[in-house]
Structure 1
Amino acid sequence: MPWGCCCGGGASRGGDMGGPGMPWARARAVGDRGEDLACAHLEGLGWQVVARNWRCPQGELDVVADEEGLLVFCEVKTRRSTRFGTPLEAVDEQKARRLRRLAWTWLAEHGRSGETFRIDVVGVLCLAGAPAQIQHLQGVA
């Protein structure tokens, strides 16, 4: 399935998202677009997105989705190059443990403690001028 580029528009050129002096704003815009594409990918699989950018004092879950009754907590990693590795390589064992703890917290706060779940990673690679490439790795934690 072709996906639109997530690095185009004013944000990547320092436009209305903070200008060249604010790289965090450009990074946030790219990350937000990557999450939009990841959600479209999951919905294309027939999944229902339950929550996005859920936060608690311990951290943030990018996407919580329902795959035919199974809750899936998705970490979304978006990159504009592979200079520092692929998007999927950004999730190591330490990050996976943190995602599990966040998932348990989400379940407890939503009255669903003890429910079975899975942790996935969705990598979005946005090379300049090319459609975004999406990789979905299931069951990382």
Structure 2
Amino acid sequence: MATHNELGKKGEAVACSYLEEKGYRILEKNWRFKQTEIDLIALREGVLVFTEVKTRFGNMYGLPEEAVDWRKQKYLQRASLAYMQLKNFEDEIRFDIIAITFREDGSYELFHIEDAFFPGL
């Protein structure tokens, strides 16, 4: 596995633990629809939360959350619609981003953006 893949998996594990500590119930990890993967799907207080996790080492290539551009948002929205149809879910949804930046010493900074973007295919 490439180093960036390992870093991504590490970030997803951190994000998952973070959400669970905040009272989210993780329903799916790395759920796929066609070519799109939703990193984490969770439920909290009746709201279905689709979470994109972006992880970087340092800030050499910009902030992690900047990688979730309009194209990525469009794909995530389509995949979320498929998930909702599959699970027959009709209540409130939300799209979040968890941005994690690891440092040389192994520590990290986590930034949780709730309602990062709105559905609107």
Q: Do both share a fold (TM > 0.5)?
A: yes
Match for residue 81 of structure 1?
Answer: 58
Match for residue 91 of structure 1?
Answer: 68
Match status 1:59 vs 2:22: no
Native 8 Å contact 1:58 1:102 kept in 2? no
CA distance in 2, matches of 1:37, 1:111: 29
Match for residue 124 of structure 1?
Answer: 100
The equivalences for 1:26-41 within 5 A come to 26-41=3-18
CA distance in 1, matches of 2:116, 2:71: 11
CA distance in 1, matches of 2:7, 2:35: 23
Match for residue 7 of structure 1?
Answer: none
Cα deviations by residue, 1:73-105 (Å, 9 ceiling, x for unpaired)? 000000002111111111122222221111101
CA distance in 2, matches of 1:27, 1:82: 14
Native 8 Å contact 1:96 1:140 kept in 2? no
Native 8 Å contact 2:57 2:103 kept in 1? yes
Q: Percent identity?
A: 33
Deviating above 2 A after TM superposition, structure 1's stretches of 4 or more consecutive aligned residues are none
Cα deviation for residue 56 of structure 1 reads 1.8
The one-letter amino acid of 2:101's match is L
Match for residue 79 of structure 2?
Answer: 102
TM normalised by structure 1 equals 0.78
CA distance in 2, matches of 1:132, 1:40: 14
Aligned length in residues = 117
The one-letter amino acid of 1:123's match is A
Cα deviation for residue 111 of structure 1 reads 2.2
- Where structure 2 has 5 or more consecutive residues not aligned to the other structure, the ranges are none
Compute the RMSD of aligned alpha carbons: 1.2
Q: Which stretch has the larger CA shift, 85-94 or 116-125?
A: 85-94
Structure showing greater Rg = 1
TM normalised by structure 2 equals 0.90
Cα deviation for residue 115 of structure 1 reads 3.0
Given candidates 24, 27, 46, the residue that maps to 1:69 is: 46
